[in-house]
Amino acid sequence: MKSENGTVWQQQVLPIVLTLVVCAALIGLVYLQISLLNRFSTEDISLRVTIADILIGMTVYLKTSIDFALFIGNLMHTNGGWKNRISIELGTALGNALGTMAVLALWTFFREIDWLLAIMIVLAALVLFKLAESGLDHAKHTDRQYPAFFRYAVKVVEIFLHHVNWFTAPILRYILPEISMNAGKRNGFWALFAFAVVVPFMLGLDDFAGYVPLFSLVNVLGFSIGAFIAHAFLNILLYISPQKTIQAVKNPLISFIGSIAFVGLGAWGIFEALHLLFRF
């Protein structure tokens, strides 16, 4: 069966197979990166991988996948055709992985000095508070489908986070870039590929930086593998059904629970930073 954009093999099967191949290649790349980083750090990052760490990485990634889903979905909509799908897959996967690897490199060297690691963890906590507030945007759009106590709880958390993020905005504005999600038409495979790399790189840098407080609780390699697998899974779902996938990741209840988890993780990060500095 062939359409104007290509056969079913070109439109669905080939991009999905390529997604899995790229995911495996990136997992190998982050393994090599950690092995290399261990040569320069006094404390090795464990290369042991557990199912629990992978599942945690997948779960946390999918919670923050709304921005990725919207960006990739818009790119696919405005740049149709199987060749463009391959370009989008390669670009977004590479961009996300590079952002992740950049944070891993920074964390590896910062953790050698307590006060530098404490600063990084606090900044990561502030990023988590920002991500938590942005997640509530989807929880608010319930259209009266949820009970009054749920809407009230969302409002209370939103007010709290708004005040926290208003106070920290002068700091974060110099750390977190403003990212344009305008996924317009790109002419040519490589032009689309370049654009597909840049935005996911910044999103991956932003989101993964927020996970730093988790690194004292989970294995970093397993967590990273989980994030890469979840990104591949999200891409596959977007190939199959973009509308339903975006609708699922924007579920109000999931968004609210995830935001609460991010607040808790951010608070834990600040506690960890204080513990590093004052050794109590």
3-state secondary structure of 48: coil
Percent of the chain with pLDDT over 70: 78
Domain ranges of the chain: 2-278
Mean pLDDT of 58-85: 74
Tokens standing for 55? 């599942």
Q: Which pLDDT score is estimated for 67?
A: 64
Residue 146 predicted with pLDDT over 80: no
How confident is the model at residue 117, as a pLDDT? 77
25-63 pLDDT tens trace: 999 999 999 999 999 888 888 999 999 999 998 988 887
List all residues 6 or more positions away from 66 whose beta carbon is below 8 Å from its beta carbon. 135, 138, 249, 250, 255
pLDDT of amino acid 1:
46
Q: What is the mean pLDDT of residues 221-250?
A: 82
pTM here is: 0.71
The confidence score (pLDDT) of residue 5 equals 53
Rounded to 5 degrees, φ, ψ at 7 are -75, 170
pLDDT digits (tens, 9 = 90+) for 161-186: 999 989 988 877 776 555 444 555 66
Which percentage of the chain shows pLDDT scores above 90? 17
Mean pLDDT of the chain: 79
Rounded CA separation 133/39 (Å): 39
Could you read off the pLDDT of 227-240 as tens digits, one per residue?
999 989 988 888 77
Q: Cite the DSSP H helix spans in 3-113.
A: 8, 14-37, 51-63, 66-78, 82-110
